[in-house]
Amino acid sequence: MPAPTTAAFTTEFGQEFEHERGQWLRRRFLRYAGTVVVLNVLMSVLPGIGTFLVWPFQGPPPEGLPPVLLELGAGLIVTGLYAWAWKRVRSEAHAGPEVLRLVVWLIITSGVLPLAVGLVTLKVFRQPDIRIGDAEIGVGLAWVGNVFITHLFACLFLPWTPRECFRPLWPLLALNALLEIASGDGTAQKALIIAASPVIGMPGALICWYRHSRFRERFTLNTLRGRYSEMKRELVDARRLHEDLFPEPIHDGPVRLRYRYEPMRQIGGDYLYASLGPSAAGGARALNIVVLDVTGHGIAAALTVNRLHGELDRLLAEQPDMRPGEVLRLLNRYVHLTLATHSVYVTALCVRADPDAGTLEYASGGHPPAFLRAVDGTIEQMDSTGFVLGACAGADYDPAPRTLPFGPGDVLIAYTDGATEARDVRGRMVGIAGIQRAILAGPLGYGDTPDWTAAILDAVDAHRHGPPADDTLIIEVSRPLEPAALTPRPAPLHAR
């Protein structure tokens, strides 16, 4: 079902992306916090301590000492918070959301403390000749500049999204709006300043957008490359397992089997099942084959083939001498109940070649016509006898099997629609007539034992322009001219 599959893939990709971004955010945060600690120590803490130690020898005014102590205390607090956050993130494997929360609070604290120091210094330790309104405006502008620098500096380090980078700004901008409203007159000017204040976050947001988009593109490309390599390895293993389901060819005995399979991709939905039925009173064993063509291509079709293989194994294990019509009827019932609900249908050709009876019994469910070429060169077309499997319920399905003579020198040639639908440069298909012409031409140049599968596949390849557009399977079931002169050996087939 497409929706759950797509949702599962999207969820897996999103989880891997967030995990990778969380690890990247953790590494960048450690650099960011360490840099802030070093800069604060060099630019705020050490100069503040130096000023505090030098002032007694310079005879500072008594009112100058408290502001210095406030600034030094604020610097020590901010530096200590960043050092604590650095140690915490480094010692523990914090995830991305936890690191983001730490960053938000650190930036808010870094913005609020300098403002508090500036306002306390202004209100408590102001000079008598300073106008409070103008001083507050100066403090506000200096604080906005400080917030801008702090936010931009964080964005230069941290790989957060534009939306995430505004999280610490909103509380600070709200505080700035309150200060603008509380200070002096000029309502229109204040409204303009408040409305324009989010602009200070735009440079950092642009940096974050660029970095995040590049990271997402790089992660997507690397993930697709990894998935492709992983899928190629899995497809190699899947093809080996898929091809193990196919039977071994039979090169001797009263009935021979040969086939050629070319999937459109690594694996496909064409399949050949074969088994030897029990012999009657020491006679030759009949050969049962089922040719299947599942709708679709690739992995999904191959998984369906695996299910059908298991069902055929069960049917012929329970009743090894089951006739083709009954096999087709039961297969239709299985496909209708389990696969048709997913819009998966199957064409099938069921054949039983009995050398003792000299007959070829078959039933075809929507499969392309097979051909029976007699020893005298005449050809009989074996048309479909029933509907495509899964199209109707089991009770309504009539396989209508047929029986044809099958003597020494006769050969059955079956195929899937990948052979008939091969197109030339003008878009013309091989068609059933093209397969028939290849059979009439005969397998010339293939040694003493005619190889009909190679001859027909060569004819299809000669007609086809470009790569195959469908899976192609060609099967040959034949009887040698002198079966009595051949010594049968145990067949390599077994009911799977």
Q: Which domain holds residue 384?
A: 245-485
Residues 289 and 376 both lie in one domain: yes
> In this model, does residue 260 exceed pLDDT 60?
yes
Asked if residue 37 is part of any domain, the answer here is: yes
Distance of CA 166 to the CA centre of its chain: 33
Residues 255 and 306 both lie in one domain: yes
pLDDT tier for residue 48 given thresholds of 50, 70 and 90? low
CB under 8 Å to 470, separation ≥6 — which residues?
A: 264, 297, 416, 417, 418, 421
Quickly tell me which residue has 């059908």 as its tokens. Answer: 308
Q: Using CA atoms, how far apart are residues 162 and 95, in angstroms rounded to an integer?
A: 19
> Looking at residue 57, what is its pLDDT?
52
CB under 8 Å to 459, separation ≥6 — which residues?
A: 430, 434, 435, 437, 438, 441
Asked if residue 233 is part of any domain, the answer here is: no
Residues 305 and 217 both lie in one domain: no
Q: What is the DSSP string of 297-357?
A: -HHHHHHHHHHHHHHHHHHHHH-TT--HHHHHHHHHHHHHHHTGGGT--EEEEEEEEETTT
Q: Using CA atoms, how far apart are residues 89 and 81, in angstroms rounded to an integer?
A: 12
Comparing 367 with 160, which gets the higher pLDDT? 367
Q: Using CA atoms, how far apart are residues 112 and 175, in angstroms rounded to an integer?
A: 9
> Looking at residue 2, what is its pLDDT?
41
pLDDT tier for residue 126 given thresholds of 50, 70 and 90? low
Residues 97 and 157 both lie in one domain: yes
Residues 195 and 250 both lie in one domain: no
What token pair was written down for 9?
A: 């893939």
What token pair was written down for 483?
A: 């079966």
> In this model, does residue 1 exceed pLDDT 80?
no
> Looking at residue 475, what is its pLDDT?
94
Highest mean pLDDT among 11-20, 138-147, 218-227, 349-358: 349-358
> Looking at residue 88, what is its pLDDT?
87
| Averaged pLDDT, 280-306 | 83
What token pair was written down for 28?
A: 């960048």
pLDDT tens, residue by residue, 311-327? 999 999 889 889 999 99
What is the maximal distance between C-alpha atoms in the chain? 128
Q: Using CA atoms, how far apart are residues 156 and 158, in angstroms rounded to an integer?
A: 6
What is the reported pTM?
0.60
Checking phi first, is residue 281 left (phi over 0); if not, alpha (psi -120 to 50) or beta?
left
Q: Using CA atoms, how far apart are residues 4 and 39, in angstroms rounded to an integer?
A: 51
Asked if residue 199 is part of any domain, the answer here is: yes
Residues 197 and 282 both lie in one domain: no
Comparing 133 with 381, which gets the higher pLDDT? 381
> Looking at residue 128, what is its pLDDT?
45
> In this model, does residue 258 exceed pLDDT 80?
yes
Q: What is the total count of domains within the chain?
A: 2
> Looking at residue 495, what is its pLDDT?
36
Tally of CA atoms within 13 A in the half-sphere of 316 that contains its CB: 27
CATH of the domain at 254: 3.60.40.10
Give the residue among 109, 112, 93 at the shortest CA–CA distance from 36: 109
| Averaged pLDDT, 256-282 | 81
> In this model, does residue 92 exceed pLDDT 70?
yes
Give the residue among 261, 307, 310, 316 at the shortest CA–CA distance from 285: 316
| Averaged pLDDT, 40-51 | 69
Asked if residue 232 is part of any domain, the answer here is: no
Residues 319 and 467 both lie in one domain: yes
Residues 208 and 265 both lie in one domain: no
